Amino acid sequence: MNNIQIEQFNERLKKLGEFAKRADGRYSESEIIDWVSECVGVFYEIGVDAVIIRIFLDYFSFGIAEAEDYDGYMVMREPELYKVKTIGPFHEKTHQESGYSRRRVPSGYYELVGSFYYAKIAFSSARNTLKNKVAERRIVPFWLIEQTSADDSIKHLSSSLELIESKYENKDAHGLVTEAVTLLDSVLNLDADLKNKANIGGKLSSLVENETKRQTFGVSKDLIIGLNCGRILRNAKVIHKDMPIKYEFPFLIATSFAYLVLFFVECTILNEKVIHYEN
């Protein structure tokens, strides 16, 4: 499911969710049936859990309910009960056949009388399913951007993360490596000692040799070595910008490097020694 499809599903859910907000409050039987059918179809396409779809269908099944008939002219008399057709929380509207007859006849439309609780659950589940599908397609977790953007001192990291996501979605291998290197350098520079190093290679080599410093970042030696192996990409795409490129390296290679950088950032944030944040 691509971004366009996800946006289309969100629009369809929004439109379907407005059905119960009709100004006149009148619904024909065919309109309710068509609405339920379309909801089920959209839920199924999105991938909503089958149990939730079944409960939704059961809730909007046909039934019979009892309603009280109050006679305005005989207020002392107990109200009489009469039966009406229902489709879930929608009840068929009736009226007295005449002023002299207490027989009630259908008015030809339904009103929303009962609770819309189960419908709201189904719609919430559909929106959450779409949100999870978006998250599955991303390289940058939502929480990383939310966390870094909430702190002015590291808001520049949030900008780099958003650019990485943009380059990833556009399958831009060159841009992905460039932004990943920028992010890596920014995080390393949060440490005063590493900031004084001339380049990224020197900063990473210092981490490889200094276990105490690695513990500050909450990362392993293997991860730092892996990041330092990315110097081939860094040198080709970032440092020696004027050097003619003979070929483009595969997008998957750029993605692998970006994943290592993002894992490094996650470890650093979660360790709470270089980057401090509120849970």
- Which residue is it, tokens 């599903």? 9
Q: pLDDT value at position 241? A: 53
Q: Does the structure show a pLDDT above 70 at 243?
A: no
Q: Bridge-partner residues for 68, per DSSP?
A: 81
Mean pLDDT rounded to a whole number for the chain: 84
Q: How confident is the model at residue 279 (pLDDT cuts 50, 70, 90)?
A: very low
Contact 110, 32 (CB under 8 A): yes
Contact 91, 67 (CB under 8 A): yes
Q: What is the pLDDT of residues 37-89, one digit of tens each?
A: 999 999 999 999 999 999 999 999 999 887 766 555 555 556 667 788 899 99
Whole-structure pTM value? 0.62
Q: In terms of Cα–Cα distance, which of 183, 176, 174, 184 is closest to 228?
A: 184
How far apart are alpha carbons 268 and 160 in whole angstroms? 16
Task: Identify the structural domains of the chain with CATH numbers, from first to last.
Answer: 3-131 (no CATH), 138-271 (1.20.120)
- Please compute the mean of the pLDDT values over residues 233-244 and round it to a whole number: 57
Q: Does the structure show a pLDDT above 90 at 24?
A: no
Which three-class secondary structure state does DSSP give residue 91? strand
